[in-house]
Amino acid sequence: MTTTGDELRDEVRRRYAESALAVERGGGCGCGSGSCCVDDDDATPAAVFGETLYDSAQRGELPETAVLASLGCGNPTAVAELREGETVLDLGSGGGIDVILSARRVGSAGLAFGVDMTDEMLALARRNAEEAGATNAIFLKGVIEQVPLPAESVDVVISNCVVNLSVDKPAVLTEMARVLKPGGRIGISDVVAEDRLSPEERAQRGSHVGCIAGALSRGEYVAGLEAAGFENVSVEFTHEVADGMHGAIVKATRASGPRRTRLPVLQPAAAGCC
């Protein structure tokens, strides 16, 4: 059975709506494993995703529901080197953990935007930001393939375990380049495959909604970012989440010259999803 892009995106939305509601009810993300970025059928240990990737000082400055709703595979706020007064954008902001932490880092002269397509997650994130007193944290409804912000309006793009969920990764990388100011940078946590794994082999290791099957390989990430107009691209593996698949930190700078037009990058097969 093949799954279309729209069906896959709906499945992702349903899955994360369920997570947000589970957190509201006072539980974990409700997927039976402590993190929604682990499907119940996946062999991936839950400890490689979620709140344990933040240090206790960071967790201490957040509302409990923001910590509980953490579904990432890294800590982009720790790698993005945010500065006072900057504008930050988090793609797929979930319960808001990275937006709230970024809002603190950039201070009252800065802004932290989160974009997410799931209403339940947006509602949770807005409540968390209010509870945290993060008045410079703004959550927008939208898809990361078509970001609802103007061109060249952002200093830093961050994201935590979301690019792998996209059904149109070239569009996401192109949008990152569009919204960034020339010289702007990305600091992204994501699941990334070793180049030796075919899309089919990635799908054997976990589902799409579980953040495994849709992962790009390191070479695909580098080629995709360069095609979208980024330079100084690095993809550093930090911890293994499945055989040949890793939590990774992806960094790059938007080239100062004119933006390139969209070029294709390899899209892993959606096989094995759901």
Ligand X SMILES: C[S@@+](CC[C@H](N)C(=O)[O-])C[C@H]1O[C@@H](n2cnc3c(N)ncnc32)[C@H](O)[C@@H]1O
Site residues for ligand X, window 196-235 (CB under 6 A)?
211
- Please say which residue, 114 or 229, places its beta carbon nearer to ligand X: 114
Q: What is the DSSP string of the chain?
A: ----HHHHHHHHHHHHHHHHHHHHTTSS-SSSSS-TTS-TT----GGGSSGGGS-HHHHHTS-HHHHHT---SS-HHHHS---TT-EEEEES-TTSHHHHHHHHHH-TTSEEEEEES-HHHHHHHHHHHHHHT-TTEEEEE-BTTB-SS-TT-EEEEEEES-GGG-S-HHHHHHHHHHHEEEEEEEEEEEEEE-TT--HHHHHHTS-TTTTSTTPEEHHHHHHHHHHHTEEEEEEEEEEEEETTEEEEEEEEEE-SSPPPPP--------TT--
- Please choose, out of 65-73, 191-199, 226-234, 262-270, the segment that lies near ligand X by the rule CB under 6 A: 65-73
Among 67, 89, 161, 191, binds ligand X (CB under 6 A): 161
Task: Select from 104-112, 154-162, 223-231, 247-255 the region that touches ligand X (CB under 6 A).
Answer: 154-162
Question: According to the binding rule CB under 6 A, does residue 51 interact with ligand X?
Answer: no
Stretch that binds ligand X, among 56-64, 70-78, 131-139, 260-268 (CB under 6 A): 70-78
Q: Does 143 bind ligand X (CB under 6 A)?
A: yes
Our finding on whether 116 is near ligand X (CB under 6 A) is: yes
Binding mask 30-49 for ligand X (x = CB under 6 A): -------x------------
250 beta partners: 188, 235
User: Which region among 162-170, 180-188, 233-241, 256-264 touches ligand X (by CB under 6 A)?
Assistant: 162-170
Residue (63 or 92) nearer to ligand X, CB: 92
Among 28, 63, 92, 247, binds ligand X (CB under 6 A): 92
Binding site for ligand X (CB under 6 A): 12, 16, 37, 70-72, 92-95, 97-98, 116-118, 121, 143-145, 160-162, 165-166, 211
